Structure 1
Amino acid sequence: MYTCSLVRMSDKIKTFSMFGDAGHGGITRYSLSPEAFMARNEFKKRMEAIGAIIEIDDVANMYATLPGSDPDAKRIVMGSHVDSVKNGGNYDGILGVMSAMEVLETVAEQNIPHKHPLTAMIWTNEEGSLYPPAMMCSGIVCYDYLPEDIRGKFRYEDMMNSKSILDKTKTFGDALEVSGFKGDKDNRISPDKYQYMFETHIEQGPILEDAGNTIGVVDCVLGMFNYRVRFYGQTVHAGTFPMPKRRDAFYAASRALCYLHDEIDQLGVDDLVYTTGEVVCHPCVHTCVADYFDFSIDARHEDPKVLEKVLAIVKSVVCKEWSGCTCEVVKARNRDTVYWDKKLVSYVKSAAEELGIKHQYIHSGAGHDAQFAAYMLPTTMIFVQSKDGLSHCEPEYSTPEHCTDGATVMLNAVLKADAE
């Protein structure tokens, strides 16, 4: 078994945390921003220093490859993303890139024999924080392999026209053209050139820490749905209109939200999670009764039958009376559970066992670029413990030791795949 370098990993964590430092312990590093270019250039510099060959595709995905002993063998790729949410942490996404770099650096330093070319990769615009949607460029690249209901959301032309949330006159395509990181479409990851994909990521939850385990052997990305629940009432003056005559959309929505929580909780399903995280209120004026209120509901579970039961409860809202308001339920998006390749999952588990690193099976509740890649080629993920389960915030933290353990598990799992 081989071991990655704690010193080298610690240095990468410190260095990459400077690119987009928000001044409060975290980063803001939007895709194709100057801060993201700094991270990409650091990736390029370090990978070229070990003799890796750098390639970039037409949507700025970057690849650094160490050749293998078999010139005809397909590549094994590892990677994630360098972009972040606003005021995010120093580990989400970038840990997967740093881990892939660490694998290649360890292979080069220790002259580890390998048959397949080994590639470290950066996916562009995973977060979609500046140019929506999330997982944009993995969606573009994997478009032909995605299920029909997902595929239409990632048409190349549509994605190039995605407008910046900060400046509606600028598009993702504009930023790509002037980035200096637009390469050749022939360099895209594809089943013709690639054998397997691995992605290491922080857990983003408290399960591993609560169990006292370092590594999560991820078996799937949970199925989910997201719907909008909308209420229509009437705007009247807050001080002059009698209470019994009001049709208050805000109040109606609050009643419906309590109803949903009560009914869904009564299902008593383990591991089911659901969230109402986004609202729209109109006219959103303190002296006016709301005539419109809209909230999201996001539910996630491995079993589609469980999600069907939850969705039936959500849809039942339209059949009930809500303080004189009308209601509609509208689908925003959904996905089926995406299972990782069982053979690659077994390699990750075996590597953790042989290294004596505490681990467990775990699901991913969040989406990842690897999820789209899984429609295209055999793929798996490795989770690293997150302190207090925090993510998408500046206190996000994983210890250098745990990060190094994650890279070490991936290295040895990749070598098992390479030895087939």
Structure 2
Amino acid sequence: MAASEPSATPSAQTKRSLLDQLELDTRLLGMIGAFVLVCVVFNIMTDGRFLTPRNIFTLTVQTVSVAIMATGMVFIIVTRHIDLSVGAILAASSAVMAMTQTQYLPNALGLGLEHPLTPWITIAVGLVVGAAIGCFNGWLVGYQGIPAFIVTLGGFLVWRNVGWYQTSGQTIGPLDPTFMAFGGINGTLGVGLSWIFAALAVAATCWLLFQARRNKVSHDMTPKPLWAEVSLAGLLSALIIGFVWIMNSYEIPTRRLERLFEARGEIMPEGYTEGYGVPISVFLLIAIAIAMTVIARKTRLGRYIFATGGNPDAAELSGINTRLLTVKIFGLMGALCALSAVVASSRLANHTNDIGTLDELRVIAAAVIGGTALSGGIGTIYGAILGALIMQSLASGMAMMGVDAPLQNIVVGAVLVFAVWIDIQYRKRMGEKI
């Protein structure tokens, strides 16, 4: 009788045991590896121009708008819905905010573009409009029983053109200076404050890891090996410091510095240089990512979202108001679209009618590439943000190589299908429901 083959080699067992001890998310590691590979390949093919401080700064700023919406799309897809109207809601919200600060407030209240209240009233109006559109979509889906695909496909056609009628098809600008600070290059912390942010972020990261370890011990759970905790803290701290160093390394052009000194009535010292620092839009993304993660993991709403996505019938039988839940998640998606409109229009310094075009596809792709299962019940906020970064890296790298737009779309589409195929194979291997 032939001897049975061993189920796994000793090296494979050791590797699996090590991964279990470190509690590493293999799907996340795969995405990080893919992102690093994309960056290395494009850096080689662009003769080192891809990984320069200037391009990384630009890449970061361009990612924020899609990443913000991708965090909301995670909740939409987790509950087995889809939202094809996010780009149109962004455009409608942007149009409302542009008209509010350039027409409505000056005419109604006499508040000009540089009035302290103008940007905040504008953002509040945009959030209300975006959330209202989202809630309306959710009401149609949850209470009227219309499939989300149809509702949001209709919204895709409706809301962008509603925005067009608000502006009569015109580009609206310039926008309020404080409002434009959320766009990236027009609003950064500067070198000094950025280093302070790095120090605080490193301290917060180490404290959170320590608290997580202490909680496990207090609940009689086996924590990670101490060396693993220290290594993880060191790696995350190095990433934070490295990111801030790159942002600070992107220097403000000399002519712009001269204008800044002239505006203050000063003469710029010879040889003076200054870095941009971390963009304010990045802080907005970080704040939203933290808030959405807390909602997903620590709140009743988050538990209801994932329970509904896992088994809608069981969730409803257990007492969850799935119809109201649908309204809430679509309303949240609409509000996030409005915040993305703030970032996108601020980065452009005006509202244009093509703002947010094809963003719905980029947002859905970012969530799916980030590991959100189209079958529902599975998804992470950090995965969606990383997916958005991968998507933007592909677009930026191909643009730097001079790749035509049609070929760029072909590559992105192929990557999306490939990412879903990889995810399906991974779930089959792990024994998860597809």
Q: TM-score, normalised by structure 1?
A: 0.23
Higher helix share: 2
TM-score, normalised via structure 2 length: 0.22
